[in-house]
Structure formats: structure tokens, C-alpha cells
A and B are shown apart, each in its own frame.
Chain A
């Protein structure tokens, strides 16, 4: 066996070891992802929407300051966005409270 073939063999063995080791342990018992709580996804989605709505309010203000939108339109859209933000915050609060209640119920 030449030196090159020896190196190739070492490489293959090293790769097999690196890739294979995780397959032969106690890891099999663990899960990659815990069962997804639908509330968790909903909560994340609401956090993103909250951010986007707040950014939209800032942009609306900017558009108003740079004279792109009339005062009545600005007021109407701002009211709409604030209402959206309010609903999102209420939903976030609702989810947080429900989650905390469940937690304290479990620990009790």
C-alpha cells in the first residue's frame, strides 16, 4: 500500500469516526425538537408583528413629517396601526398570562 492510499484510508476512517460517533451513544433517547407548542409559534409571530407594526408607525410618522401624507390620512392610518398594535399587545399579554397560569398550575 502506497503512502497516498494510506492517507486516503486514514481520511475515510477519520470521517467514519466523526460521523459515526453520535450514532452510537445515549443520544438516541433524546429528541431533536420537543413537541412544538402551537402557542410558542403564535407568540413568536405576534412578537414579529408587534415589531413590524411599531416600525410602520414610525415610518408613517416619517412620511407625515416629509409631507407625503395628509393630516386626515395620517390620523386615520395611525389610529388603525395603533389599534393593530393594541390588539397584538393584548394577544401577547393573553398568551403570557395563560402560560404563567399553566406553569403555576403545573408546579402546584
Chain B
């Protein structure tokens, strides 16, 4: 089976290379024979990569340690659940997983568009195949997951214990689905540039793909934060680590694109800007892959054998140069005939939102690459830590939060100042009430506390602004149709999925902002060395160390569990079981934290150390409002689902357009 897996990878590379060339030649030479030949390749490549992936998965599930990759990331005792996730646990498998996702996306695009626009689609397929060629080349010749060990060992080295967490089964595939998904809009954008089809056809063809990729990238970031929170055991969820930043930057740029593209659809303008944002988003996904696989930056998230940096750097340069050249060449065709109607309009607020999002992305990018630049220029690696990011990004983030509230209140095209005053009245009043109500409760001693206070006030402003939008829309519908409030609310949301789905996403973002602010400013922690039966207090909780238990969980894993009784107001409230896990062959034990999560705060417990006399060092964090962030994530998921849901009205309009087009300009066969 391993031979087949390795062989099909080679066949996939050769086929993808042929497909790429044949698609381009078919479009340039206007040859249908070449197109029909090339048109078989996406499916063949997908089938080959899938067979190869099945072979590798089989090797994991059957403990085939003749493969170096299986030996390095699995062992006999590993749960089947984690054997599956070991597939993408290391560099080799993760690249194969990337190729599998990309080829799957490509096949879906192939079935969706193969007969739609034959001037653009061949180039788009060629671009996707070219990206696949790059990954398949690396998999075949530089980091082959089917590399053999001449004398297979009895057992494997095992998966890094930090990766043995259910979030690690969910987080990487979700993030990859987002990363890889942006290849589709990128491919169509490049195809539109090459074929000079620069109306907004390519945008319409990839609108759903952009939304889906954005959704997965957003969820991937949040799942990664959840993993860091429960597994890394340092009490936090985000550390501005280079790899976290690498996943965050494409999300920011894609968010900017999702907003600005609406202006192109409505007013047929900002073509260069949107094109640049799509290309930049894809470049950032490759930059993220470069960061995790270059070995240049130290992070808990980088791969052990990160040696592919130069390949990715070269690929990145080729992409940036080629795309820049294409945009410059096509500049005359990308010019907009229209202008903004007014500076005071939703379009302008979207432009500001774009600048703010790009500002955060640039600051994050600078902080991420600064260690590399400082080492290259001065020979000293200067690490940029959270203070830099917080100092720069928090004020810009607050501006972004304010814009989320301002946007919905402003009309498209032109807002009237007097109406603006009227519409801003309620959100501003609520913001003032929040500000006054919080003033005696919240300390304002430090800059962090002031920023947190401002965040809560702005959250009040934004939530009111969004909820007022829902209310006004509903009441307006009720005035026109005889419907109940709930019925009108449902109809108005369902008939304007993009608008109201977007508002729901914004509510999720507000919850995340509030969660971050609360947990960053008002968290507290303490560390105590306790004998059995001893207690300590933190934020009204009395924590008593009751017992320490050792369990041989498996032949390679020993669990040391502390039992901590939590009392509140004199009553037993909860029992926490933080633990340390020792894995055979691993030098460092892994902390498994225990968290009591409520809407108000998280009680987060870590067994930091223990001794033979059963005394233990316990670390306890009280992190306020962390669950608001996770709730915000689910709200974003719900809003995204509404936005992504197929719109029958839009489909009907598209079909009508195609029908009229076909009537007047029939294809030669019909004529």
C-alpha cells in the first residue's frame, strides 16, 4: 500500500503539471481538444492524492512503523482518534493534507464552473493546478511522507503530548480549510487578470468561496485559541505568537476584502483595491505556511523538522511579483468610471474599515518579521512581544469596533446629517449609560483599564446600533405587510441574508471584543504550595487541596491528579481535577488544566508541581468573561451560515440574466 501511496503522489504531480500546461495552451490556442484533455486532470489529481492519503491513514491505523513519518508521530498505544490527527500532526502529512484539501476544492470548482465561462475557467484551473504542483513537488521530492525506515522499529516515538487534545483534531483541519479555500478566489482573480475579463464576474463566481474560507479561517483561529487555553496551561489563549499572527493576518485582509467587494458590486469601482486584497490574502496564507515551515521563527506551533522555508519564500516572491506585474499590466482595464456619491456614506465607512483592518495586519506583520530582519541586519534576534502588539493594535482595534457600530447606521451612497444625529442618538445614549454605570465599578488607573472601559462603552454602542437595525427593519416590514414581530424579523433577515447575517457576525465580534477586554484587564492569579487539607482564597473562592492520585492510564501514560474542592459563600461549589500527564519517552510532563467556566468568569486550575510527600504547587487563575469569546465564535458561525445560505432570489436573477444573454447571443450551436 505504501508503494501505491508514493506512486500515486508522483502520478498526481505529473498529471497536475500536464493539466496546468494544457489548460493554459487550450485557452491561449483556443483549442477544445486540449481543453477536454486538460479537463480530466483535476479529477485524476484528486483521485491520486486521495488514494495516497488513504494509504498514509492506513499506515497510521495499522501501526506501520516502516514509514518514518508514522514512526515519528504515532505509537501502538495512541488512541485511534489521535492516530487520525497524527496524519496532519507533522510537516510531511500536513502538506499532503493541504494537497488533499486543495484538490478537493478544485474538483468542486471544476464541477461548478466547467461549462460556465470558458474564457476564465481554464486559467483559474491552471492556477489551482500550479499551486498544487508546488505542494506536490515538495511532497514528492523534499518531504515525502512515505519515506521508509530500512529496519522498522517495534514501536513509534508517539505524538507530541501537547497535540493529544481534541481541539488539535478540529483546529488544524478548520484552519487549513480556510487557508486552502483562499486559493479559489485567488485563482479566479489571476484568471480574470490574464484573460482580461475584469468585470465583476469573477467576484460573483467566488463570493461564496470567499465567505466559506473566511468562516473556516475565523473558526480555525478561535479553535486554536481554545486549544492554547486548555492545553498549553499558561492561563491565556492568545500570545501574539508568530504562528498565531500568521493565521490572523489573512483573516484581517480577507475581512477587509469582504467589505470592500460590496462597493465594487454596487458601484463598479475599487477594482484594483479588491484585486490587490484577494492576492494579498492568498500571499499571506503562503506567508503563514512559510513561518511554520521555515525554522526561522521559534514557536510552539512550528513543525519539528521545519526545513522548507526557502521553497516557500521563493514561491511567495514569485506570487507577489507575478501578481503585481499582472495588475500593473491591466491597470487601464481596472480603472473605475464611478465615484463615491458622498463622503458621508456607508461606502466611506467601509473604506475606513479597510484602512483600519490593514493597519492591524501591517502592525502584526511588522512585529512578526522584525526578529528575522533584526537578525539579518544586526545579527541579533530581537523578539517582539505582546506589549508591542497591544500598544499598537488595541487603539486601532477600538477604532474598528467603533466602525462596526457606525456602519449599519449610515445609509448607502449618501447619509443625511440630520438623520445621522437622530439615528446615533440611541446608541450614544446607551453608550453614555454604560459609561456612567461602569464608572464606579471599573478602576481606571492604567492604560489597559482605560482601554477596557472604552471597549465596554463601545460594545454598548455597537450592540444598540445593530439591534436597532434589526428593530427598524422589522417594524418597516410590519408597516408594509400584516405580519407579527417575530414573523417580520425572520422574513426581513431571511430575505436579506447577506446584510443581516453580517450584522449577526458583528454581534459575535462584539462579544469577542468584550471577552478579550474583560479577561485581559481584570484577570488575577495566584500560585500556592499546599499540604493536603490546606486552603487558600482567590476572588471569593476558597480552594482546598484534598488529595493527589496517581493513575497508570496506559502503558505509556501516567496521570497525576490533584483534587481541589472549591467553596463559595461557605458551600461546596465545584471540585477541580487539574493533572499532570507523564508520557514514556517524553522529557517534559504535560499539564491538563481544569476549568470551571461561567458567563462571569473562568476558574482555571493548574497542577504546577507535586512532591513525594503529596504536597503540591497549585496555580489558579480567575479569568473574567472568557466564555464570552467562545460564545462570540458560535454567534459568528450562526451569522456566517445565514450569509452563506443559498439565495433563491439571487439564483433566479442569475438564471434570468443567462436566459436573456443566451436569447440575444446564442452559442454557435444554437444559431
Say whether A and B bind each other: yes
For the complex, give the distance between the alpha carbons of A45 and B31 in Å.
26
Interface mask (B472-492 → A, CB under 8 Å = 1, otherwise 0): 110010010000000000000
Pick the contact of A4: B4, B33, B413 (CB < 8 A): B4
Query: Beyond A27-B32, A43-B665, A63-B412, is A32–B18 a contact (Cβ under 8 Å)?
Result: no
Cα separation A63 to B410 with both chains bound (whole Å): 9
Which of B35-43, B598-606, B623-631 is the interface stretch? B35-43
With both chains docked as a complex, state the minimum distance between the C-beta of B586 and any C-beta of chain A, in angstroms: 37
The CA-CA distance from A51 to B204 in the complex, in Å, is 13
* Contact B4–A19 (Cβ < 8 Å): no
Q: Name A45's closest neighbour in chain B (CB-CB).
A: B199
Question: Which residue in A20, A30, A77 is a CB contact (below 8 Å) of B37?
Answer: A20
Known: A47-B660, A56-B266, A99-B665. A73 touches B414 (CB 8 A): yes
What distance in Å separates the Cβ of B153 from its nearest Cβ neighbour in chain A? 24
With contacts A11-B8, A99-B664 taken as known, whether A67 is within 8 angstroms of B40 at the C-beta atoms is no
B450 at the A/B interface (Cβ < 8 Å)? no
Check if A95 is an interface residue, CB within 8 A of chain B. Answer: yes
A28 to B119, CA, bound (A): 18
Scoring A residues 41 to 58 as 1 if CB is less than 8 Å from chain B, else 0, what string do you get? Answer: 101110111011001100
Is the CB–CB distance between A22 and B415 below 8 Å?
Answer: no
Judge whether A68 and B415 touch: CB under 8 Å.
Answer: yes
Q: Known interface pairs A51-B657, A56-B266. Does A69 touch B414 (Cβ–Cβ under 8 Å)?
A: yes
Interface residues in A59-108 by Cβ distance below 8 A to B read 59-60, 62-63, 65-70, 73, 77, 80, 95-96, 99
Contact of B36 among A22, A52, A77 (CB under 8 A): A22
Q: How far is the CA of A45 from the CA of B341 in the complex (A)?
A: 21
Give the shortest distance, in Å, between B367 (CB) and chain A (any CB): 39
Let me know if A22 and B37 touch, CB within 8 A.
yes
Contact across chains for A23 and B411 when beta carbons are under 8 A apart: no
Q: How far is the CA of A48 from the CA of B11 in the complex (A)?
A: 42
**Most A C-beta atoms less than 10 A away, residue of B18, B40, B268:** B40
Judged by a CB distance under 8 angstroms, whether A15 is at the interface is yes
Q: Is the CB of B472 within 8 A of A66?
A: yes
What's the minimum C-beta distance from A82 to chain B, rounded to whole angstroms?
A: 13
| A25-B33, A43-B665, A56-B413 known; A70+B418 contact, CB < 8 A | yes
| Residue of B whose beta carbon sits closest to that of A63 | B411
Which residue of chain A has the shortest Cβ distance to B37 in the bound complex?
A22
Chain B min CB distance to A74 (Å): 8
Given contacts A20-B37, A22-B33, A70-B419, contact A36 B119 (CB under 8 A): yes
In the complex, chain A residues 1-38 whose Cβ is within 8 Å of any chain B Cβ = 4, 7-8, 11-12, 15, 18-23, 25, 27-28, 30-34, 36-37
- For B30, what are the chain A residues with a Cβ–Cβ distance below 8 Å? 31-33
> Which residues of chain B from 447 to 474 have a CB within 8 Å of any chain A CB?
469, 472-473
- Contact partner of B665 (CB less than 8 A), chosen from A7, A20, A40, A60, is A40
Select from chain B the residue with minimum beta-carbon distance to A71. B416
Residues of B within 8 A of A28 (CB): 31, 33
Query: Taking A32-B118, A52-B266 as contacts, is the C-beta distance between A68 and B419 under 8 angstroms?
Result: yes
User: What is the predominant secondary structure among interface residues of chain A facing chain B?
Assistant: helix
Residue B34 lies at the interface, judged by CB distance under 8 Å to chain A:
yes
Count contacts on A: residues with CB < 8 A to the other chain. Answer: 51
Q: Is the CB of A34 within 8 A of B668?
A: yes
Question: B653 — nearest CB in chain A belongs to which residue?
Answer: A51
Q: B634-671: which residues lie under 8 A (CB-CB) from chain A?
A: 653, 657, 660-661, 664-665, 667-668
Q: Which residues of the partner chain B approach A66 to less than 8 Å between Cβ atoms?
A: 469, 472-473, 476
B653, A32: Cβ atoms under 8 Å?
no
Chain A contacts for B122, CB-based, 8 A: 32
Contacts of B411 on A, CB cut-off 8 Å? 60, 63, 68-69
Main secondary structure on B side of the interface with A: helix
Nearest residue, chain B, Cβ from A74:
B416
Q: Is B423 an interface residue when CB atoms closer than 8 A count as contact?
A: yes
CB pair B118–A33 under 8 Å, yes or no, is yes
Q: Does B15 contact A (CB under 8 A)?
A: yes
| Complex contacts, A77 vs chain B, CB 8 Å | 341, 413-414
Contacts of B413 in A (CB 8 A): 56, 60, 77
A2 — nearest CB in chain B belongs to which residue?
B3
Q: Which residues of B contact A68 (CB under 8 A)?
A: 409-411, 415-416, 419-420, 423
A15 to B11, CA, bound (A): 9
B241 CB–A CB distance under 8 Å: no
Which residues of B have CB within 8 Å of A27? 32-33, 36
CB atoms of B199 and A19 under 8 A apart? no
Of residues 575 to 606 in B, which have CB atoms within 8 Å of A's CB atoms?
none
A15 x B664 contact (CB < 8 A): no
Query: Smallest CB–CB gap between A33 and chain B, Å?
Result: 5
Asked whether any CB of chain A lies closer than 8 Å to the CB of B571, the reply is: no
> A43 — which chain B residues lie within 8 A by C-beta?
661, 664-665
Contacts known (A37-B665, A69-B415, A99-B665); A44 close to B41, Cβ less than 8 A: no
Tell me, yes or no, whether B7 is within 8 Å of chain A by CB: yes
Q: For A73, give the chain B residue with the smallest CB separation.
A: B416
**Chain A residues, CB < 8 A from B546:** none
**Minimum distance in angstroms from B420 CB to a CB of chain A:** 8
Contacts of B33 in A (CB 8 A): 22-23, 25, 27-28, 30
A57–B321 alpha-carbon span in the complex (Å): 41
- CB atoms of A40 and B31 under 8 A apart: no
Q: How far is the CA of A73 from the CA of B200 in the complex (A)?
A: 29
> Is B27 at the interface (CB under 8 A from chain A)?
yes
Chain B residues near A39: list those with CB within 8 A. 665
A1→B11 CA distance, assembly (Å): 19
- On whether the beta carbons of A67 and B32 are closer than 8 Å, the reply is no
Contact A33 B119 (CB under 8 A): yes
Residues of B within 8 A of A18 (CB): 40, 44
Known: A70-B416, A77-B341. A48 touches B199 (CB 8 A): yes
Given contacts A22-B36, A33-B30, A66-B476, 9 further A-B contacts (CB under 8 A): A22-B37, A27-B32, A31-B32, A34-B667, A44-B657, A56-B266, A66-B472, A69-B414, A95-B664
Which residues of A are at the interface with B, using a C-beta cutoff of 8 A?
4, 7-8, 11-12, 15, 18-23, 25, 27-28, 30-34, 36-37, 39-41, 43-45, 47-49, 51-52, 55-56, 59-60, 62-63, 65-70, 73, 77, 80, 95-96, 99
Binding site for A on B (CB under 8 A): 3-4, 7-8, 11, 15, 18, 26-27, 30-37, 40-41, 44, 118-119, 122, 199-201, 265-266, 268, 341, 409-416, 418-420, 422-423, 469, 472-473, 476, 479, 653, 657, 660-661, 664-665, 667-668
What are the nearest 7 A-B pairs in CB distance? Answer: A22-B36, A70-B416, A63-B411, A27-B33, A68-B411, A66-B472, A40-B665
**30 A-B contact pairs sorted by A residue (CB < 8 Å):** A4-B4, A8-B4, A19-B18, A19-B40, A22-B33, A22-B34, A22-B37, A23-B33, A28-B31, A32-B27, A36-B119, A43-B664, A44-B657, A44-B661, A47-B657, A47-B660, A48-B200, A51-B653, A55-B266, A56-B266, A60-B412, A65-B476, A66-B473, A67-B419, A67-B423, A68-B419, A70-B416, A73-B416, A77-B413, A96-B664
